[in-house]
Amino acid sequence: MGRHAEIAGAGFAGLCAALALLHRGWSVRLHERAPTLRNEGFGIAIHENGIRVLEALGVLDAVLERALRISRMETRDREGRTTSVHVPRSRTYRISRQHMVQVLAEAVEAQGGEIRTGSAATGALPEGRLRLKGGEELAADLVLAADGYRSAIRDGLGLLQRRITLGDGAMRLVIPRTPEERASEPTDSAVAHENWSGRRRIIVNACGPDEVYVAMSCPADDVAGQRTPIDLDAWTRSFPALSGVLERVAASADWTRVRWTRFEIIRLHRWSRERVAILGDAAHAMPPNLGQGGGCAMMNALALAVALDGGGVEEGLADWERRERPLTDHTQRWSRLYSATTFWPDWLRAAAFGITARSAYLSRMMQRTARHVPTGTADPLTSFPQPSR
């Protein structure tokens, strides 16, 4: 008889883990506390490491149907002048989070997995029991907590080592892509630009044929910068070159879903306890500066399934953490370092970015995760055909 997993959280980590386990003969049931599968953050950058994971899971083609390749990444000043340029050396895409969640969920259900929405997990027992709101307990060979950086399961098991609250945060949203924007760029790619003005930052990048992803970050003491809907005058004074984009943000963003969130780093004593494992932001939340929060979640989800393939659960989980955690820790450290530049003078930040672009060592450290070959993707035998849709 096959083994069974109960998974709390149907975001990237939970869905990728479910699909990887299903491919290896497990039965899987996911529990999502929200009434629908709606992902926060709106857009996500997927680098070569994440692309390899999606390819191994058999969903890459479906995900890329509504994705745009990032052809170039630029930093710009408040007047729109380019201060540094980075051309990706490997595949990099900006994708709608909602589209990715939908593709992954359809693949899970096509492989026989069950997804329950409106099903909130409140805790877990180490021997492998998931507790739901209302008191129901579900037994499993493996319980996965992919329930976000405020994970009740993680905290109930006493695994949280440290929660580091950073001095900055961001709001993320999407706006419609204009015909002029579509005409100005190739049909399959777009330029991503990160604009800095003092301690405020705006990232703009198309994340599909019809949408533009916008991230607006500022320090925690910037009251005007955190307001939703945005303080249009305050942001326009900081970024006059983006006045048109900011007007569209004010007019068309879905303000019922947008909120400013302070960046946090989550570190655990261990990633598992007996038959319960912690995944994604619940295990290693980080600021999104390297675009690898989702990438690490997806890599670790696939690697977990590989580690458990044919072996004992507790031994497999220990081996999984021993192999995968060093890279995730590295990613958290360098993402935190990037956040520190928020508080630097513009001239110093621009100089640092220029040095990083020219330094082989700094570029290697910043790109180490993106260029990593994830566990479960190097051997073609670990890849699977596209699930029927």
* Co-location of 159 and 175 in the same domain: no
> Among 41-50, 61-70, 266-275, whose mean pLDDT is lowest?
41-50
Q: Binning pLDDT at 50, 70 and 90, where does residue 220 land?
A: very high
Whether 79 is covered by a domain: the verdict is: no
Nearest to 366 by CA among 283, 265, 299, 289: 289
The alpha carbon of residue 382 and the mean position of all alpha carbons in its chain are separated, in whole angstroms, by 23
Instruction: Give the pLDDT score at 1.
Output: 62
Instruction: Give the pLDDT score at 227.
Output: 97
User: CB atoms < 10 A from the CB of 196, how many?
Assistant: 23
Does the pLDDT at position 379 exceed 80?
Answer: no
Cα angle vertex 119, ends 118, 123, to 5°? 145
**Final residue in a domain of this structure, among 231, 258, 285:** 258
Report how many domains make up the chain.
Answer: 2
Instruction: Give pLDDT tens digits for 162-216.
Output: 999 999 999 999 999 999 888 887 777 889 999 999 999 999 999 888 899 999 9
DSSP, res 364? H
pTM for this predicted structure:
0.93
* Co-location of 367 and 316 in the same domain: yes
Query: Where residue 41 sits, what CATH number does that domain have?
Result: 3.50.50.60
Instruction: Give pLDDT tens digits for 345-378.
Output: 999 998 998 898 889 999 899 999 999 999 999 7
Work out the average pLDDT over 104-127: 97
Does the pLDDT at position 41 exceed 80?
Answer: no
Mean pLDDT estimate for the chain: 93
- For residues 324 and 375, the answer to whether their CB atoms sit within 8 Å is yes
Helix residue spans in the chain (DSSP H): 12-23, 48-57, 60-64, 97-110, 152-156, 179-184, 223-226, 232-238, 243-252, 281-284, 293-308, 313-340, 346-358, 360-367
Where in the sequence is the domain holding 110, given as residue range(s)?
A: 4-73+84-165+262-382
How large a percentage of the chain has pLDDT more than 90?
83
